Structure 1
Amino acid sequence: MGTDLHRTEPQWLIQARETLTGEFAAQTARLTELTADTGDPGEAHTRSALIAATRQSLAQITDALRRMADGSYGDCRRCAGRIPPERLEILPHATFCVPCQQRQNG
Structure 2
Amino acid sequence: MTDQTWLTDLKTTLTQEHKTQTARLTELTADTGDPAQAHTNAALIAAARQSLEQISAALRRLAAGSYGTCERCGTAIARERLEIIPHARFCVPCQQKQHG
TM-score for both structures, normalised by structure 2: 0.95
- Give, in whole Å, the separation in 2 of the partners of 1:40 and 1:85: 44
- Give, in whole Å, the separation in 1 of the partners of 2:74 and 2:61: 13
AA matched with 2:51: S
Matched, 1:90 2:84: yes
AA matched with 2:52: L
Shift, 1:19, TM fit: 1.1
Residue 9 of structure 2 corresponds to 15
What residue ranges of structure 1 are gaps of 5+ in the alignment? Answer: 1-7
Q: What is the RMSD computed on CA atoms of the aligned residues?
A: 0.9
- Give, in whole Å, the separation in 1 of the partners of 2:17 and 2:80: 19
- Give, in whole Å, the separation in 2 of the partners of 1:85 and 1:12: 10
> Could you report, residue by residue, the CA deviation over 1:46-71 in whole angstroms, capped at 9, with x for unpaired residues?
10111011001000000000000011
Residue 61 of structure 1 corresponds to 55
> Could you report, residue by residue, the CA deviation over 1:16-38 in whole angstroms, capped at 9, with x for unpaired residues?
10110111011001001100111
**Percent identity for Structure 1 against Structure 2:** 67
Matched, 1:47 2:63: no
- Give, in whole Å, the separation in 1 of the partners of 2:28 and 2:34: 12
SS in 2 for 1:81: coil
Q: Which runs of 4+ in 1 moved over 3 A?
A: none
Residue 5 of structure 1 corresponds to none
Shift, 1:83, TM fit: 0.3
> How many residues in Structure 1 have an aligned counterpart in Structure 2?
99
Residue 65 of structure 2 corresponds to 71
- Give, in whole Å, the separation in 2 of the partners of 1:30 and 1:98: 30
